[in-house]
Amino acid sequence: MYGHKVNQLGRRFSKTLNERLTPLGLFTAQWAVIVRLLEGPATQTELCQYLCVEAPTMTRTLARMEQAGWIERHCGADKRERRVALTEKARAMADEWMRASDFVEAKAVRGISADELAVFASVIDRMMNNLSES
């Protein structure tokens, strides 16, 4: 039942985060891409792997983000490779989106000690590693 509980937590977290992000013109799937791209440009394949989504799903998400002016695509070292990067418009909004995300996270962890959160983070990391093994 752990997987079911983690899935339910993720759904509830996404729903609550969407309630905060939607007025800012963003959805959680797009926020997840932005969080990754704040670290630097990535290929669509890297984004798919990072978010564990299929290529068609990522293609649709990136198309909407490009239309909104939040990402741009550049040629990589290989002409077939396209690097996705945040635009200045997205970077200008990133702090506001982060505040919305931080608000939801603070709400979610209210009443949970730092020690409990450390154990939770460790267990989640180990579960993700276990599921990533071939």
Can you give the pLDDT at residue 14? 95
Q: Provide Rg for the chain, Cα atoms.
A: 16
Separation between Cα atoms, residue 85 and residue 77, nearest integer Å:
15
DSSP conformational letter for 70 = S
- SS3 call for 57: helix
CA atoms within 13 A on the CB side of 43: 12
- Is this model's pTM higher than 0.85 or not? yes
Residues of the chain whose pLDDT is less than 50?
A: none
